[in-house]
Structure 1
């Protein structure tokens, strides 16, 4: 009996440690992901969407490469054609998401976009329900359902009441709405599809492959639709900002996000991302003087209430342990 109790205590301690690591990773990701839309909004002045994303992911690939080689030397899963195949499918929606999110910033400010992209939680919940039976315990809890529903309503309100600066209309242009929804859905799809490849390969290896494949996919698109020589004309200060955004918002944040989805699940990790708009709106108001209308503020409040409910969901126990960073 004593031995059984000791094993139970060890299992409970291990579970609490795993959840603590997951929450630490997701909150660090939230802090970092409060800034990407601001970087991209600024870089839109100098880079087209194709070129901006290609160079940001290329820099992210270079940044993660030393850690990938270090992991390979220590042993573990090999990076072979099978590993490339595992990561290829998630990269397809990732490419679409990266390009459409930059395009969306031509129709709205960075703070509004950061709020709206949280609508991906509802897509993530539905996709996780379809792909991962182990996620269904979280999704079936009423707090998660209510939280994601309120988050979707709030996110839609924030973007719907965004004035159209090009025509002085009260609502955003429909192309901007469709582009933003495409970015949100593809981000959710990427988050679901990357779960098992990152679980099998580890967070470092999986993102190393994702960044390499995404860069490779973006390169011909940049040649066809972008301007590959933009860094030569943008200026050193602009290029430094691009590098900083790539290393922090792509490399570091993705690795932390992978740890989070391993430890607390895809659905809950995405739901907690609903907290990002608070930081993004504050920074955008300070830097770009972005302001929300009264209806947008009410919508944002509804969204944050949804985030609070989603945060109170009890995480499921997962069998996968992420690599330590």
Structure 2
């Protein structure tokens, strides 16, 4: 493998790691802000902050791509469809986080990987090699068992717990549909441009929801530090959850990207424990370890697949 090939693989891995760590933060941010803002209000301001950030980046570095996309009616229609699906998934997920611990919500959201793998195998030929790897099946079984164990290992009931679990799972289902649509959209649209338009449209959607079922004016009553933190969390959380996510789908594929995201519950648990003192029950820790083990096997197998895919791409 050439030096350029090694560098490309290293850059892909770095993007995947940054995304995995960054995606662990939104659950903690949302849970922390839940005592200050309703779900729609905080989502509106967080996505608005991220949208402005993306717009500045796109305007400076990808102005031509931004203009071309905005002038393409087909691309705009598809991005609106993508946004509606993503909006539904985030609404369900954020509402669910208000009812269950952040770490548990992050673990449950990994169920989307199953749906993504199945449909990616059926719809995308370039994803089939990943799914056919020998270790994939065993690792997937561990991941499924781990998620199921986390759900059943809660122990003492919590008010709204069952409803929260259902909402997070439904949000995960829509999120998987979003991932598949995003892969198709990236064939026509640059990831940064797609992130910009997607996030800005999402913020508009949350504003409408907030006007009916939220309180956008609550930002005027919040402490300045809380407001700054909310806007900052939007840039970081949405930036990794949308921006880095789309970049990785384009560079590493939708299956590998979502497999790597299986490790985010581990980082979420660490961040939630340090910031809010959240803890899993002993049984949830055991099953969480099973989930992380399955994820480790999947990620380890991807190193070989990525290298093989690169080498094949160099063959005439």
**TM-score with structure 1 setting the length:** 0.86
Query: Unpaired segments of 5 or more residues in structure 2?
Result: 311-316
**Partner residue in 2 for 1:131:** 123
**Partner residue in 2 for 1:174:** 162
SS in 2 for 1:92: helix
- Contact kept, 8 Å, 1:97 with 1:187, in 2: the verdict is yes
Of residues 230-239 and 72-81 in structure 1, the stretch that sits farther from structure 2 once superposed is 72-81
**Aligned partners of 1:75 and 1:270: how far apart in 2?**
26
Residue 65 of structure 1, CA deviation: 0.8
Inter-CA distance 194–136: structure 2 relative to 1 (3 Å threshold): same
**Aligned partners of 1:199 and 1:53: how far apart in 2?**
28
Does residue 120 of structure 1 match 2:108?
Answer: no
Residue 75 of structure 1, CA deviation: 5.5
Which of 48, 51, 70 pairs up with 1:79? 70
**Partner residue in 2 for 1:227:** 215
Q: Which runs of 4+ in 1 moved over 6 A?
A: none
Of residues 182-191 and 144-153 in structure 1, the stretch that sits farther from structure 2 once superposed is 144-153
**Aligned partners of 1:15 and 1:196: how far apart in 2?**
25
Query: Unpaired segments of 5 or more residues in structure 1?
Result: 1-8, 319-325
**Aligned partners of 2:226 and 2:37: how far apart in 1?**
10
Inter-CA distance 164–176: structure 2 relative to 1 (3 Å threshold): farther
Inter-CA distance 225–288: structure 2 relative to 1 (3 Å threshold): same
Residue 82 of structure 1, CA deviation: 2.8
**Aligned partners of 1:162 and 1:151: how far apart in 2?**
17
Residue 217 of structure 1, CA deviation: 2.2
**Partner residue in 1 for 2:46:** 56
Residue 110 of structure 1, CA deviation: 1.1
- Contact kept, 8 Å, 1:148 with 1:271, in 2: the verdict is no
| CA deviation map 1:96-148 (0-9, x unaligned) | 12111221123221122222222221121122123322211111223223223
**TM-score with structure 2 setting the length:** 0.88
Report the RMSD for the aligned CA atoms in angstroms.
2.1
Residue 19 of structure 1, CA deviation: 3.0
- Contact kept, 8 Å, 1:22 with 1:261, in 2: the verdict is no
**Bigger fraction of residues in helix:** 2
Does residue 241 of structure 1 match 2:229?
Answer: yes
How many pairs align?
304
Inter-CA distance 14–79: structure 2 relative to 1 (3 Å threshold): farther
**Aligned partners of 1:127 and 1:265: how far apart in 2?**
13
Residue 83 of structure 1, CA deviation: 2.6
**Aligned partners of 1:317 and 1:254: how far apart in 2?**
25
Inter-CA distance 84–13: structure 2 relative to 1 (3 Å threshold): farther
SS in 1 for 2:70: coil
**Aligned partners of 1:236 and 1:122: how far apart in 2?**
42
